[in-house]
Structure formats: C-alpha cells, structure tokens
A and B are shown apart, each in its own frame.
Chain A
Amino acid sequence: MTTLGTVEILLTLAIVVAAAFPTGRYLATVMEGERCFLSPVLAPVERGLYAACGIDPKQGMSWRGYTAALLLLNALHFALLYLILRLQFYLPFNPQGITGMPPAIAFNTAISFVTNTNWQAYTPESGVSNGAQMAGLTVHNFLSAASGIAVAVAVMRAFAAGGVQTLGNLWADLTRATLYALLPLACVFTILLMASGVPDTLHAFATVTTLEGAHQVIALGPVAFQEAIKELGTNGGGFFNANSAHPFENPTALTCAIETFMLLLIPFALPVTFGRLVREPGQGRALLVAMVGILGLGMILAYAAESAGNPLLHALGVDQAQGNLEGKEVRFGTALTAMLNVGATGTSTGAVSGATDSFMPLGGLVPLFLMQLGEVTPGGIGSGFYFMVVFALLAVFVAGLMVGRTPEYLGKKVQAREVKLAMLALLILTLWILCGAGLSLVLSAGLAALSNAGPHGLTEMLYAWTSATENNGSAMAGLTATGPLLAYGQGFAMLFGRFAVMVPILAIAGSLAAKPKLRMTAGTFPTTGLLFVGLLVGVIVILGGLQFLPADALGPIAEHVGLRTGTTY
C-alpha cells in the first residue's frame, strides 16, 4: 500500500462527491419539470414524445398506478429484448453473423438488463451482435437506470409534503431522467472515452498479421456509447467478456478513474436531490455521508489486501512490490483495480477492471460484503437511494424503540405497516441469496459450475447469488453460469431482487405520502447529525451484513486462514 495509491482513491472519491452536489440539484430541477439550461433544445423533444405517446405529464399517479405502469413497461421491455436476442441473426448490424441466443441465456440476459443487474451469462464477443448491443442492451441500460431514478424520486415526493395522494407521473419521470440527465451525460462521456481510445464502429472484427507472422483477430464494435451509459446508469454489462479490464473498454489509467467517477456520480447525487426536494439539504447530506464513509473504507481495505500481494507466490521467489496482479492489468495496478471494482459493487454496477475471482480472500470479501449490505453504499442508480430510505426508516424505528416514542422520519410517522414492509424488502433478499447459494452447493449441477476448489468455490457460488439478487451483476467469473440451474435460477433471483423490493418500497411511499407532515419538536429524533449517521451505519451493518456472516466465514474468511497457513486447493 503506497501513499500514491491511497491518494488516487481518495482524490477520485472527493471529486465525485464535489460533482454530486451540482448534479443532485440539477436532477431535482429537471425531475420537478422546471426549466434548465438544456430546455431550449430538449423541451420540444420532450413535448413531442408526450404528444406521440398520449402522455399528460401533469397527471399524478397513485402508488398503485405508478407501480402498475412501471411493471407493464418492464414486461414489454423484457419481451422486446428477449425477441431481439433470440432473433439477432436475422436483424441488421451483425457483421460477424452471430446466431440467436439460446432460450435459457436469452431469458437470463433479458431479465438481467431490464432489472439493471447486467449479469452476463453469455460471452459478448461471440454471443451478441452489434445490432442487439445497440437496440437491445444499450436501450435497457438507459431505461433501467431511468426507472431507478423515477422510483427514487417518487419516494422522495412522499416525504416532501403532507396528505399527498399521488407520487408523480411515471412516464414523465422516465422521460425526464432519460432526456435531461442520462442522455446528455452519456454524450459527453462517449466523446471523452472515444478520444481515450475506446472504439465505436460498425466494422467487422479486424484481422492483422502480428510481428511474428501469426493472424490475430481483434473484436470491435459500437463500444463507446454503450460504455458511457454502462457506467453512468450503474449497469455494468460489458461490451466485451473481460468488461472494464478489456483495453477497448478501459484503455488508460485515466479512463479507469473517469469510469469510477461515472458510476458513482448519480448514486451520490440522489441524496442531494432528496435534500432539495424535501427542502432540508441536511437530510440528504446525512445519507450521503453514510454512503461515502462505508464505500471509502471498503475501497481502502480492498486496496490494502490487494497491494499486500500473495504470500504463496512470495514463497516461490516472486517480488510482491506490485501487489497481487493475477487477473489485473499493468496500467491500473492494484489501487485503480480495487477502486473501480469496489465502486462498482458499492453501486450496483458490477463492472470490473480486474478479475474479482483472483482477488485476495479479504480483497474479495469487500465487494461481496458491500453487496450483502443491500446495495446502499451508494447502491444502484435510484435503487440504492430507495433502499437506503428503508434503512433510514429502520434506524428511526430502532431509535424510537429505545425511547418508547413513535418514530418519525422527515415529519412522517413510521408505523407498523411501514416497518413490516421495510423488513419484508430486507429479508426477502437474504432468504433468496442464502437459499439459492445453499441449494446450488448441494446439487451436482451447481457444484459442476464452480471453477475453484475449497472455500473459494463456496465464495464463488455465494457471490453469484448475492450479485444476481442484489441486482449487481458482477461475478467471480470462473463460475459457469450457462446451465439451466443457474440461468433460470439467477434469472428469477434478479427479477425478485428488483421487484420484490421496489413494490414494497412504493407501497411504503404511498402510505407515507398520504400522512400529514408533522412539525419537528424537541422530542423528535434528529435525522441530520452524526448521531443519526452512526445509528444508520450501525443498522446497515447489523441488519444488512450480519445475516451473511456465517456464510462469509465459510468462504473468504476460511480461505484467508488457509492462505496464512500455506494451504492450496
């Protein structure tokens, strides 16, 4: 661990946090339908879309209406994406003549991209055509992210005023999030990435004759635009198999820092948006401090583990000054690789700039644990924010229990219905992860999918189910996820992880919106100071994390102990 490496990480984090404030305020402006500097260009497009689709943006929806519209839209998107993937052979922009995806993988992939998970059971270079990448996967990178922003903003509105019956108009929220936030950002970063070396072309793969006279085929495609929204929308589905470790997705150390910036920007900005919409900036800042604190600590811990190197290889006479470079790229080294991988698991992006499977046991525990916390530090775009609100409600509930008073959050009484729904959202994920991983580890089909033996094999399977259920999408990629058990099992895990959380949270929002907004009194537990941040972090770690401690002890922690005693598997 060097000072330089630590500075790389802390400086990048500081820049994102600084940028999150104006971005968050901008999001509040556009999501409330107010004019912004892009309105002269985009307002006519927005109005045109509403007119063409028969949308009245001012018509509010109840939480049930909002949820129904969202589920319908996602169902249609799933169907369209499934068809595109199955039929890609017959569709345009397929210079490599890639055949249709098999049904199980297409099902898994369509769910994966609709739910913002972007788990990749397929090999992109040989499994998805350029046309399907653009019209299928790229579109869903935008819309699953916009759906997250929409639901997050709907939840924010529930706290903004008392006696509110509607949460906003889903169609308008989706359109605004896409047109005013995601698309302009994606355009700016596409150009930055392209200028740094990320290809963007419809040419067939290049064939070159190497200096030693061999033929090398080099995969190409319309990468840059998809790469931009992949990070900005916390999607994480790589254009190439190696994801952001591939030199065409992440050509330089600078792009590695830029991509980390991109994937953290909107998740960090949403608490600021929240503070703005409820007219109490301190409320948003408290959530942001908890998110940044846990994530920053995670990045440093993972960097420490990776930079210390592998004692087993040290014993063979290999100098460990560069740290653990198995599965990592020379241009990034351990600091940038740890930073992007942890940033992408703290958000639900799931991109990787190096192989998580080859991380040191404790280095790999960090991304696993951040997912197990429920993807709230800062979590996926939108989904991280609304799940953070679940934890905030539970934190004030715990505080309320301690003093024997009905808890309140932003002047809204938190009662039995909300706490039950919040716990449902939390427990449903744990149940799915632990049952899925446990079952896969006793079935021969599950065991056959593992690539590593010993405790690391258990970690691989636990990681896969955690990643899918928490809608992260990163993998300890040695695992073969193409068999029916994992393709369908993980498909349902992603579906469940997205909607079995989103619907209870919209129900909570509906119930809280209708309640009167109480004035803060001397007896109200303040939810802005460091005391609240401490309580919130405690609730996240205890409720979110401890449920998984026994499983983690059998995986990464056991492997760490084995490593110390020089055991190989």
Chain B
Amino acid sequence: MLSHLRPALSLVVLFTLLLGLLFPLGFVGLGAVALPFSATGSLLERNGQPVGSALIGQNFTTDRYFHGRESAISGTDPKDPSKTVPTPYDGSNSSASNLAPTSKALHDRVAADVAALHKGGAAPGSIPMDAVTSSGSGLDPDISPDYAALQAGRVAAARHLPVDTVRQLLAAHTLGRTLGLLGEPRVNVLRLNLALDSLPAKGDTGVGVHTSSR
C-alpha cells in the first residue's frame, strides 16, 4: 500500500492541475477570443443594453407580448425566508415541476390554464400541449408554432396591429426541425417579441389611431 502512496498522491495533484485548471481555463480563454457571443451566454442587446439571452426564456405577462411556457422555478420568499414562492424564469436557478402524470396538482393547474385560454378565445380541443405544460428547465426559450398562433390575435389587438402583420412576423420567426429531422418546429419567444417591438411606423400609427378614436 505504501509503495502506491507516491504515485497516487502525485497523480491526484497533477491531474487536478491539468484537468481542473489548465484545460478549463484554456477553454474559457479560447471562448472569450473565438466565440465571445455564445461563450458568454448569447446575450441579446437593444440600444447597447442587454435585454436577455437568446437561449433563456423570459416571464412575459402582458398582452402586448407573446408568452412563453409555464415555468416551475421557485425561490425563497424575500419577505419570509422560511417560505418558497414561484419565481418563474429566474435564470439564476432552473427546475421542472416534477409533477407526476397522475398528479392532482398537475391536473388542477392544467384545468385552470385551459379555462383561461378558452376565455381568451381558444376553441375547445385545439389547445396545444406546450401551452399548458411547464418546461424541463423552467427557462424554455421556445414555444410551438401552434401555441404562438393561438396568441397572435391577442398580441395584434393589444398593439393595434393587423393580425396579418403579426402572423407574417411569426412565420418569419418559426424555425423548422434541424436538418429537417431533429427536434420540433419552434418559435424563440424573446426574438419574436424583440422583432415586434422593432416594427416601425405601423405600430406607431396604430397607437395614434387608437388615441384619436378615444
């Protein structure tokens, strides 16, 4: 056993230096030089200010924006540290609901979401699954084209835009399967909403018309 001590100890130390410092730091350096956008989190900027990451969803709640999926992330209540409260799309954490398919909590949550969507005008039986389920990370940046289409009317109305304009924008932001095979068709919600905000004249006229009609 003692004869093994020197090789064991020195391998532990040398491998820690090689695999735990030299290579990880080397790749951090390489990322900073060669792939600065993705290596630092794919942050999107508007007017020089970071507004989010292209890969991380945001908690959109107003009618003016397309909404992402349910996020099951929770965190400590700032008012009472002994409690946890929902903190949807908290990017400093990540979590799924972990509710079983037979869970009553899941059933009740979905039933409430379905009722809300029906109230918003969704036809019965047409609600896509991603509209009422929570994602695996709680940070899913995407929704399905079906769920986006379901929201197009609401967003157009809130922005006083023709629905067709919103639908065209949506079509332009719909991504197909990778190589026509892998994954599912999807829409990146943050990119779509950024594009909505940058729609020129029409949006402004819309607001103008709205004001004058009042």
Contact = CB atoms under 8 A, between A and B. Distances in A.
B120 interface: no
A77 B118 CA distance: 57
Nearest to B20: A135
Contact of B140 (A183, A330, A357, A476): A330
A142 interface: yes
A55 interface: yes
A200 B29 CA distance: 9
A197 B55 contact: yes
Contacts, number: 375
Given A139-B16, A251-B55, A72 B40 contact: no
A329 B12 CA distance: 39
B4 to A, nearest CB: 5
Interface residues of A, number: 125
Contacts of B139: 242, 246-247
Given A216-B58, A357-B96, A245 B136 contact: yes
B74 to A, nearest CB: 11
A76 B9 contact: yes
B183 A222 contact: no
Interface in B1-45: 1, 4-12, 14-16, 19-21, 23-25, 27-28, 30-32, 35, 38-43
A256 B182 contact: yes
B10 A220 contact: no
Contacts of A224: 27, 31, 39
A211 B102 contact: no
A226 B140 CA distance: 22
A31 B35 CA distance: 35
With a 10 A CB-CB cut-off, give which of A7, A68, A248, A252 has the most chain B CB atoms.
A248
A233 to B, nearest CB: 11
Nearest to A359: B101
A253 interface: yes
Contact of A245 (B58, B135, B181, B190): B135
A209 interface: yes
A218 B91 contact: yes
A126 B95 CA distance: 13
A205 interface: yes
A5 to B, nearest CB: 9
B212 interface: no
With a 10 A CB-CB cut-off, give which of B60, B91, B107, B126 has the most chain A CB atoms.
B91
Given A330-B130, A336-B182, A201 B140 contact: no
Interface string B126-159: 1111111111111111111010000000000000
Nearest to A208: B50
Contacts of A248: 41, 55-56
A293 B50 CA distance: 48
Interface in A217-268: 217-220, 222, 224-226, 240-242, 245-248, 251-254, 256-257
A68 B114 contact: no
A255 to B, nearest CB: 10
Contacts of B15: 139, 142-143, 178
Interface string A338-359: 0000000000000011110111
Contacts of A178: 15, 19
A328 to B, nearest CB: 5
A358 B55 contact: no
26 contacts: A53-B14, A125-B93, A134-B24, A136-B20, A138-B24, A190-B27, A194-B38, A197-B42, A199-B40, A200-B31, A211-B65, A212-B58, A218-B53, A218-B56, A222-B27, A245-B94, A257-B182, A309-B129, A313-B110, A313-B129, A317-B127, A319-B128, A324-B129, A329-B135, A357-B96, A451-B98
Given A329-B140, A330-B140, 4 more contacts: A72-B4, A357-B99, A454-B100, A477-B96
